[in-house]
Chain A
Amino acid sequence: MTSASSPASTIAVTELSRRFAGPPEHLALDRLDLTVAAGEFLCLVGPSGSGKTTLLRILAGLDRGFTGQLALPPGLRAAIVFQEPRLMPWLTVLDNLLLVAPTGDATAASRARALLEEVDIAGFADAYPGQLSGGMQRRVALARALLVAPELMLLDEPFVSLDMPTAEHLRQLVTRLWRGRRTTSIFVTHDLREAMALATRILFLTRSPGRAALDWRPDLPPPGERGAAEIEAAVTALRLRYPRLLEGEIGS
């Protein structure tokens, strides 16, 4: 890990590649350069196989088989929200949060309860995950990630299998949480509309192997103040300009 030029709070990857031995052997990320400034909400958008999840897992420290450089601020607290809620079914909602709290943290229980309040499931602290709907389980997963007071929040398509109204509610929740904390966030999605609603910046990746195709800052009000029509118009405009962007191509 080297970081000579970037300020202490930015996250920088340089020439990051990740090859999986397979079979079949394939290159998931190919010499990716990316700098994320503190407080940004970056959405990673790309077709399947563009290495979005791989990049997130590398940043979370779950994948160390990469080449290239990864510069994270020293002692950075990162938290991840997986695609599936991944709650321990044998622990209550409250205990699922406390599981990730540092041992001997006396304030953990009260912070956990406050977070459950913030994600609107305070009444379910003593329920088991199996008793909750998919949307509520996602709220618990969000609260669990927030309990470690992360400086970097990694979200891997967290709302992908939910019905549309539930996903919309959770997107609003994510924006509300981000506006309250300004935690640097990286959110993986393949849904351009979702990215346009949430992001201060969108990085489009190419089809396998993943490279940066387009680095885009939506010309929109801050997240949370964007109207549905504005988002729709921005999506349409981008699609007209780059018709094959979601397939990972920017060529005209």
Chain B
Amino acid sequence: MAIAPGGPPRGTPTPAGRQLWLRLGSFVLLLLVWEAAALILGSRVLPGPAEVAAAMRRAAESGELFFNLGMTLYRVAVAFILAMALGSGLGILMGRSALADRLLDAWLIIALNLPALVVMVLCYVWFGLNDVAAILAVAVNKIPLVATIMREEARRLDRSLIEVGGAFHLSRGRIFLRIYLPQLYPGLFASARSGLALIWKLVLVVELLGRPNGVGFEIRTLFNYFDIAGILAYSIAFIAIVLAIEWALLIPLERRVTAWRRR
């Protein structure tokens, strides 16, 4: 299981304040390195932080930035939910049923090795240049990865605890929610965090290939003008959103449902 960042390493009583300063320092260092590299390479090749910030402000003021970020975020969200739901369902089924595992294992290996680009191109050819094809292509790329993680997780389920549910005549729904699911949380969170990171990158590629809006589309347009400051502005804005989702949503949620491990 991934260790949530921010927590002090076990055994060293590091104050939270020092952690924050270290993080801030590392961020400032990154900006300095960036600025230095920009000075050496020249702003046409690598614009400095100030120039990128100005490009971001221009895009924000015109409204383009938020519209495109919103479109990309919408595609990421739908593809993410789709991939998590279908991937988890498939993985749990394969982990619990030997028959399903034998039937689907070869498919899973093929799906895992299918190049993302091939899936995207085929989806656009088969379903047309629309959002359904774009989102489907991204989800199909992620589903086998989620299924693989969840299959392992489902195989490790503690049967003796599930039997407690049967012995006390709990409903199927209650057994699933209160006994099955908590055992699957580590896998679900591992899939969700790696999934978010992969999916938003894939969404940019499908947008670049065949959508008329979104961060990926905008990056292609900016590429045509060699507008590197614009490209960096869009990338950084989206990275900030993904980090915000991770820190504000995924990490606190994971900490909450795994609180019992730290007692």
Q: Which residues on A are within 8 Å of B, measured CB to CB? A: 60-62, 79-80, 82, 84, 86, 88-91, 99-100, 103, 127-128, 130-131, 144, 148
Contact = CB atoms under 8 A, between A and B. Distances in A.
B179 interface: yes
A79 to B, nearest CB: 7
Interface in B227-263: 257-258, 260, 263
Nearest to A96: B164
A90 B168 contact: no
A88 B178 contact: yes
Q: By CB atoms of chain A within 10 A, which of B168, B174, B178 has the most? A: B168
A79 B160 contact: no
Interface string B166-207: 111011001000110010000000000000000000000000
Contacts of A84: 160
8 contacts: A82-B160, A84-B160, A86-B160, A88-B164, A90-B260, A91-B178, A100-B170, A128-B263
B105 interface: no
Contact of A103 (B163, B164, B174, B257): B174
B164 A86 contact: yes
Contacts of A62: 163, 166-167
B167 A99 contact: no
Contacts of A61: 166-167
A61 B163 CA distance: 11
B161 interface: yes
A147 to B, nearest CB: 9
Contact of A86 (B161, B170, B257, B258): B161
Contacts of B163: 62, 86
Closest CB pairs A-B (n = 10) = A100-B168, A90-B182, A128-B260, A90-B260, A80-B167, A128-B263, A86-B164, A60-B167, A131-B263, A86-B160
Contact of B260 (A86, A99, A130, A144): A130
Contacts of B178: 88, 91, 99
Tier of interface size on chain B: 10 to 19
Contacts of B258: 90
Contacts of A88: 161, 164, 178-179, 182
- Mostly helix, strand, loop or mixed at chain A's interface? loop
A79 B164 contact: no
B202 to A, nearest CB: 33
Given A79-B168, A128-B260, 16 more contacts: A60-B167, A61-B167, A62-B163, A82-B164, A86-B163, A88-B161, A88-B178, A88-B179, A88-B182, A90-B257, A90-B258, A90-B260, A99-B170, A127-B263, A130-B260, A148-B168
Interface in B121-169: 160-161, 163-164, 166-168
Nearest to A147: B168
A79 B169 CA distance: 10
A84 B160 CA distance: 9
Contacts of B170: 99-100
A144 B161 CA distance: 14
Nearest to A127: B263
A130 B161 contact: no
A99 B178 CA distance: 8
A10 to B, nearest CB: 22
Nearest to B174: A103
Contacts of A128: 260, 263
Contacts of A89: 260
Nearest to A141: B164
Contacts of A130: 260, 263
Contacts of B171: 103
Nearest to A81: B167
Nearest to B158: A86
A148 B263 CA distance: 28
A19 B225 CA distance: 78
Contacts of A144: 168
A82 B166 CA distance: 13
A139 to B, nearest CB: 16
A80 B160 CA distance: 13
A207 B250 CA distance: 55
Contacts of A127: 263
A125 to B, nearest CB: 14
A130 B260 CA distance: 8
A82 B174 CA distance: 20
